[in-house]
Amino acid sequence: MVVLAVVSCHQAKISNNAPEGDTVEMRYAENICIVKYEGYTKVVLANPWKKGAILHTYILTNQTPSDSPSMGRGMEGVCSIIQVPLTHSAVYSGVHGSIIDELGAADQIRAVCEIDYFTNEHILQAYRDGKVANLGNSLAPNIEMLVDIHPDAILLSPFENSGGYGLIETTDIPIVECADYMETSPLGRAEWMKFYGLLYGKAEEADSLFNKVETAYNELKESVERLTVSEDSPRVICDLITGSTWYVPGGNSTSGRLIADAGGNYIFRNRSESGSLALAPETVFDESQDADVWFMKYTNAAADMTYQELAKESPLYAQMKAFKEQHVYGCNLSYVHFYNDLPFHPERHLKDMIRMFHPDLLPDYQLKYYKPIAPF
């Protein structure tokens, strides 16, 4: 019997009383620890909302259930045994569907939620062919359909104070809590692909892909490191007013880190939050009216946004320096696959940002996600 002790996750380091294993190197991710033992792999997820606590522990094994390692008592957090590789999983989000597809395991998915948010053709074609079921809303999936399919695991994104996962917790289906989005560095989040590779029997593919992402990201980052972020760097603001609130990323968020790595002087870079900031539009305007570059994402637009349309949305916009000097860039989410790419390919977004902030460094590069806002 394998006795699992309380594990402390911090910057890919763990301590435990289990037999000695081989720790999988995690160079950037802080909320996940992976240790390989003979016959199984232990994965420990730190609780990103409660320092020092464990969110979930997984035992990944290709042994039959009777031969699988048993659970020790006293483990903090939920502990689950998962037979790997997964062969008929349920994946709630298009973000994770995209990385699973890229690792070559799309045919190991049998159900998804909200198929309209999936963008990779392999899963979409499988859905059209009746090989993948759509469970509906991820917050209230079709339980009857889920039970009929009986996937070998459900991949979903956990939320703070969510109150649990409802009826799916009454089934015996393991729940994989994909908390990668709570990492505070772009490469930290991308490194979670190593976990997903283990789940789907694609560990080598995941290691190879991450090494490519890491190399490309760091080479781009190094190209702007001589441009130390200072008051002389391009001042940057992002996003748009939604209702009565202007949501912007915190300075310690993955977006905030991307801007810094691209050599941008983000207006809110000194804010320590790792999530989104919900601010009054006037507050953001006061801080960013002299920003040199402004980039944003928008949707529900049949055509790309123009300066004239932007000016109609708020009287504040036309008063901003970036607007007046036409240094505004937009990403039309109606057709650009931004969110499904960002988590596991931060190097692509970093390249776009460098091109927007320091065009002389990448004069021949064509923006992938953003476009200059069209003239009046």
Name the nearest CA neighbour of 57 among 31, 81, 22, 39. Answer: 81
Supply the CATH classification number for the domain 226-372.
3.40.50.1980
Peptide bond into 85 cis (omega under 30): yes
Model-level pTM? 0.89
**Distance separating alpha carbons of residues 127 and 148, to the nearest angstrom:** 17
Question: In the numeric block, which tokens belong to residue 55?
Answer: 């969110």
The pLDDT value recorded for residue 291 is 98
Could you state, in chain order, the average pLDDT of each consecutive group of 10 residues for the chain (376 residues)?
Answer: 36 48 95 96 95 96 68 59 98 98 98 96 98 96 96 95 87 96 94 98 98 98 77 89 96 92 95 91 98 94 89 97 97 92 96 96 96 88
Domain spans of the chain? Answer: 1-83, 226-372
Residue 105 β-bridge partners: none
**Distance separating alpha carbons of residues 13 and 33, to the nearest angstrom:** 7
